[in-house]
Structure 1
Amino acid sequence: MGAMLYMGLLALQFALQPVFSAKYSPGPGIDKTLIVMCTEFLKCCIAIWMLYVSSPTTKDFRSIMSTWTLQDWLKTSGLPAVLYAVQNIFLLLSYDNLAAVEFNVINQTKTVSAAVFCFLLMGRKQTPIQMAALLMLGVGAICIEGTLDVAGMAESLYKTGGLGLGNKQGLEFDANRMFKGVVPCLIASGISGLAGTITQKILQAGKGGKNSYLYSCQLSFFSLIYLSSSYFYSHQVSDFTSDLAKIIQARSYFPILNQALGGILVGLVTKYAGSVRKGFALIGGILLTAMLQSFAYNTKLTANQEIGGILAVCAMYTHSNFGVGWQDKYKIDRKKQHKKMQAEINVGGKKLFDTKKGGGNKVKEQ
C-alpha cells in the first residue's frame, strides 16, 4: 500500500512540474546551475525534517544521523552522484543532436535498462510477460507524448491500406546524428538504469535497508558541494545574490520546491517499489499532465493520449501480476478455489438431504 501511495504522489508531482515551471519561470539569463543548487538545498532540508518527523524519538533521530560517516557517505552516495552527473552530460549532448521525437522514443529505453541492471546486480528476474509489459509501457509513453500517432496510422491503414509512414528519404546514415545523438542518449538511459539499481540496492540492503530520507539528504549534499564549487568558480557573489533575488521575485520557488519533493519521492519509490516500477509512476505523471492540461484549457484528450493511457494501465497491471512464480500462484489459487467449491457442494448436499419430513424424522444422507 505504501509503495502505491508513493508512486501516486510521484506521478502527481511529475504532472505538476511543467505547470509550475511554465507559470513561475525566472526568465532568461538565470544560470540553470543555481536553480539546481536551490533544488538540492531544499531537498536536503526537507529530507532532514522528514527524518526528524518520522523518527519516534529524538534519540532515534540522532541514532540514524550518527550513521552518516565520511566513509559511508562516499561509499553510498559518491558513485550514484557521479553517475547522475555523467548522465546529464550525455543527455545535454543528445538534446543538441536529436529531434524531440527521436529523443522521446530513445529515452524510453531507461526503464528496460533498469530491468536489465536489476537482474545483473540484484538477481531480480523479469518474466517474458513482464518484458512485454515494459515494451507496452514504452509504446504507451510515446503515444501519450504524441510521438507515435497510432490513431493516424490506423486511419491511414483503413483508408489507403498503408501505415502512412511516407517514403524512406532522409533515412540515410548520419554519423553525426548517430554518435552525438543516438549513442549518447542510449548511454544516458543505461546510466539511469545503473544508478537507479545501485540506489535501490543500497536502500533495500540488509534487514530494513538504508533510511530513504537520510540517503536523499546525502545525495543532495554531495551534489550541492559539486554544484556550488562549479557555480562560484565562474560567478561572483554579486551574481549569486542578483539571480537569487530574481528567482524569489518570479516566485520560482514553487517549481523548485516541487522538484525537491519529487527527488525525495523518487527515493521512497525506489526503496519500496523498485527502480523499474519508478518508470511506471513517471509515465503515469505524463498521462496526468495531459489530463490536467485538458481540464485547464477545456479541451479533450486526443485519441493517442487515451490509447497511451490504456496501454500504460494494462502494462502496470500485467507487470504487477505476472512476475516470477506467477504460474505457481495461479495453480495454488485454482486449488483453493476448487476446494472451496467442493466444500460448498458438500454442504449444499447435506442440507438437501437433511430436510425434515412429516413427523420431524430426518432422512439420512445416502
Structure 2
Amino acid sequence: MKNEKAAVAAASHLNTSSLNNSPQSPQTKAQQQEMRIQPNARCLRYSSLAILAIQNATLVLIMRYARTMPGDKFLATTAVVMAEIVKLVACFFIIGYQEGGLRGLIRELNRHIINSPGDTLKVAVPGLIYTFQNNLLYVAVSNLPAATFQVVYQIKILTTALFSVIMLDKKLTMMHWFALVILTGGVAMVQIETTLSKDGGSTDPQTAQSPALGFIAVLVACLSSGFAGVYFEKILKGSPVSTWLRNIQLAGFGIVLGMLGVYINDGSKVVMYGFFHGYNKYTIMVILNQALGGLVVAFVVKYADNILKGFATSIAIIISCICSIFLFNFEITALFLMGATLVIGSVCLYSSR
C-alpha cells in the first residue's frame, strides 16, 4: 500500500511538474493577448478624443473666417449642397469598398433604397430639417464670434434631451437635469455678454453682423438638431439598413432640398455670378470638414464613450476661445469666462452620468 501511495504521489508530482513546464494554457494566452490589445484600444479612444475635438473646433473657426474675411462672400446655400454631394460620394466609396466593388454597391442601393421607397421616405423628414439646420449654422456663424457660437451651440444637448424624453420616453436622472440647468445658465451668461459687447469679430467693415440674429439662428438650429437627431435615432432602431446607407438617403434628400433652397434664396445671384461665386480654399476646407468630418465622427464615435465625447466638446470650446483671440481679436470677458466654464462643466457632468 505504501508503494502504491508513493507511486501515486510521484505520478502527481510528475503531472504537476509537466503542467508547470508545459506551454501556457489557452486562457492565459487569451489574457496576455487582451493585455496587449488594451494599449491599442486606449490609443484608439484618445485618438478619437483628439479627432472629435479638432473637428468640432476647426469647423467653426474655418467657417467663421470664411464668412467674415474680406472679399466676395460665397453663397451659403451652395456650400450646403456641395457638402451633401461630397458626403454622398464618400458614402458610395465606403459601401463599395465594404461590398467588394461597384456591383456590391449597386446591389445595396437597389435593395435598401430603390426597392424600399417607403423606408427611404422616412429619411425625408430629418433630411429636410438637417438641410435647414446647416443653412442656419452659416447665418449664426456669420453673426456670432466663433467662441460664442461654440458655447451657445451646446444648447443642442438640452433640446436633444427634451426630445428624447418626449419621443423616446427616455428617463433622465436628477444629475442630468441639474447639468441641463447649469448649461442653460452658462449659455444665458454668454449671450448677455455678446449682446452687451460691441465687438462683432469681423475682419470686413462692410460685413453687417447682428448678434441677436445669430443667437436666434443658433437656437432654431439647436431645436432642429435635437428633433432631427432623435427622429433619426428612432428610425435607426431595429432597422437593418447601415449608417452609411442612411447617410446616402440623407445626402440625396439634402441635395434636392438644398437646390430648392438655392433657387428660392439665391437663384438670381447664381444666374448673375455663378454657382461657385466667392469660392476659395477656405470655402473648400469648410465643405470638406462639414461633409467628411461628420463621417469621420460617425466612424470614431464607437471608440469614444459619452465621457470622452463630453471632454472632446469641452476641449473644442477651449480651442475655439484661444484661437479666436489670435484670429479674430476676440476679447474674453469675465462674464463670458463664467458662462463658458459653466457650459464646459455641465457638458462633462451630463456626459458622465
Match of 1:218 among 229, 249, 257: 249
- 1:67 equivalent in alignment to 2:112: yes
- Check the 8 A contact 1:200/1:270 in 2, yes or no: no
CA distance in 1, matches of 2:148, 2:325: 25
**For 1:113-132, what per-residue CA distance to the aligned partner results, in whole angstroms no more than 9, with x for missing partners?**
21121122222211011121
Q: Which residue does 1:325 correspond to in 2?
A: none
After TM superposition, the score normalised by the length of structure 1 is: 0.58
Aligned to 1:118: 164
- Aligned residue type for 1:79: V
Confirm or deny that 1:131 pairs with 2:177.
Answer: yes
Q: 1:139–1:101: structure 2 CA closer, same or farther, 3 Å change rule?
A: farther
Query: Which ranges of structure 1 fall in alignment gaps of 5 or more residues?
Result: 150-177, 323-366
Per the TM alignment, residue 8 of structure 1 is displaced from its structure 2 partner at its CA by: 4.8
Q: Tell me which residue corresponds to 1:50.
A: 94
Q: Structure 1 residue 47: deviation in Å?
A: 2.4
| Count of aligned pairs | 287
- Please list, as runs of the form range in 1=range in 2, the aligned pairs for 1:1-366 lying within 5 A after superposition: 8-21=50-63, 24=66, 27-28=71-72, 30-53=74-97, 55=98, 57-58=100-101, 61=105, 64-65=108-109, 66-69=111-114, 71-72=117-118, 74-85=120-131, 108-140=154-186, 189-203=222-236, 205-206=237-238, 210-231=241-262, 234-235=267-268, 239=272, 242-244=274-276, 246-248=278-280, 250=281, 252-265=283-296, 282=313, 284-293=315-324, 311-312=342-343, 314-322=345-353
**Preserved contact between residue 137 and residue 221 of structure 2 (Cα < 8 Å):** yes
- Mapped partners of 2:328, 2:76: distance in 1: 29
2:307/2:348 contact within 8 Å kept: no
Amino acid aligned to 2:128: V
Query: Do the aligned partners of 1:291 and 1:301 also contact (CA within 8 Å) in 2?
Result: no
Unpaired stretches in structure 2, ≥5 consecutive residues: 1-40, 195-211
Contact kept? 2:64, 2:145, Cα under 8 Å:
no
CA distance in 1, matches of 2:332, 2:79: 32
Call closer, same or farther: CA 1:30–1:51 in 2, change over 3 Å.
same
| Partner Cα separation in structure 2 for residue 182 and residue 296 of structure 1 | 21
TM-score normalised by length of structure 2: 0.59
- Decide whether the 8 Å contact of 1:37 with 1:228 is kept in 2: yes
Residues 155 and 187 in structure 2, CA contact (< 8 A), matched pair in contact too: no
Q: Please give the alpha-carbon distance, in whole angstroms, between the structure 2 residues aligned to 1:226 and 1:190.
A: 19
Question: How far apart in 2 are the matches of 1:5 and 1:127?
Answer: 30
Secondary structure of the 1:244 match is: coil
Partner AA of 2:59 in structure 1? Q
